[in-house]
């Protein structure tokens, strides 16, 4: 009897490996992991009586990103995906703000201490037998932040790009590796009382490689 149970267990475990990835419309849940990212701001302006230019490099901690995705795909042709992902609160772990007069540490002088974001991803993919290549754009919606004082402002919609490769492990389970860029704009008050100074970071961009696991129902 134990032998029968063992054989049945092997058959059940091996069946998913033989199952085919379904075609057409599917809904998926996923999670992605990033070991950390850097936001680069190249065109900052300190708005004061002399409008001093500056650059900044802001380092974010590692994080996981949950997502939900609607996918349409068929073999040997192009498909479509629409995805929503939510970046959790990410710690600012380092970086520099570089003025013409010198550099300062971003952790001690940047009012934003945590960053979070909601992102919409729109794109296409080409599907082979078990592999697929997704590519598209992402839109950072209204990003949010945690600040020690109420002087920071994150503004606007940020536009980024993404491309990757995925593999169908079994059933609806997919393993993905993604390259992605994100962007958002930021500004913060730097002084209390006249003359008030405001650091307008303009738009910053980040680039990161993520590993992901996704399941399509």
d(CA 106, CA 99): 12
Name the pTM for this structure: 0.76
CB 151 within 8 A of CB 197: no
**pLDDT tens digit string along 151-182?**
555 666 788 999 999 999 888 899 999 999 98
Q: Coil, helix or strand for 105?
A: strand
Q: Locate the domains of the chain by residue range.
A: 2-216
**pLDDT tens digit string along 52-94?**
788 888 888 888 899 999 999 998 999 999 999 988 888 888 8
Residue 179 has what pLDDT? 93
Task: Band the pLDDT of 5: cuts 50, 70, 90.
Answer: very low
> What's the CATH architecture for 2-216?
Beta Barrel (2.40)
**pLDDT tens digit string along 107-163?**
765 656 777 788 899 999 999 988 999 999 998 876 666 655 545 556 667 889 999
Which residues are registered as beta bridge partners of 5? none
């Amino acid at each position: 009897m134990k032998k029968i149970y063992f054989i049945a267990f092997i058959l059940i475990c091996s069946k998913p490996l033989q199952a085919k990835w379904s075609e057409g419309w599917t809904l998926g849940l996923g999670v992605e992991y990033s070991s950390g990212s850097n936001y680069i701001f190249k065109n900052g302006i300190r708005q004061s009586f002399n409008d001093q230019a500056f650059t900044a490099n802001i380092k974010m901690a590692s994080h996981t990103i949950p997502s939900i995705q609607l996918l349409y795909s068929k073999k040997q042709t192009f498909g479509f995906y629409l995805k929503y992902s939510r970046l959790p609160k990410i710690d600012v772990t380092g970086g520099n703000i570089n003025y013409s007069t010198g550099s300062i540490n971003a952790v001690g002088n940047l009012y934003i201490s945590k960053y979070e974001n909601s992102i919409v991803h729109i794109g296409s993919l080409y599907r082979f037998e078990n592999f697929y290549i997704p590519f598209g754009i992402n839109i950072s919606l209204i990003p949010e932040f945690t600040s020690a004082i109420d002087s920071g402002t994150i503004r606007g919609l940020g536009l980024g790009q993404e491309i990757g490769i995925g593999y169908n492990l079994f059933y609806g389970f997919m393993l993905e590796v993604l390259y992605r860029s994100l962007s958002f704009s930021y500004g913060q008050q730097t002084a209390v009382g006249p003359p008030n100074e405001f650091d307008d970071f303009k738009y910053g961009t980040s680039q990161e490689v993520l590993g992901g696991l996704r399941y399509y129902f």
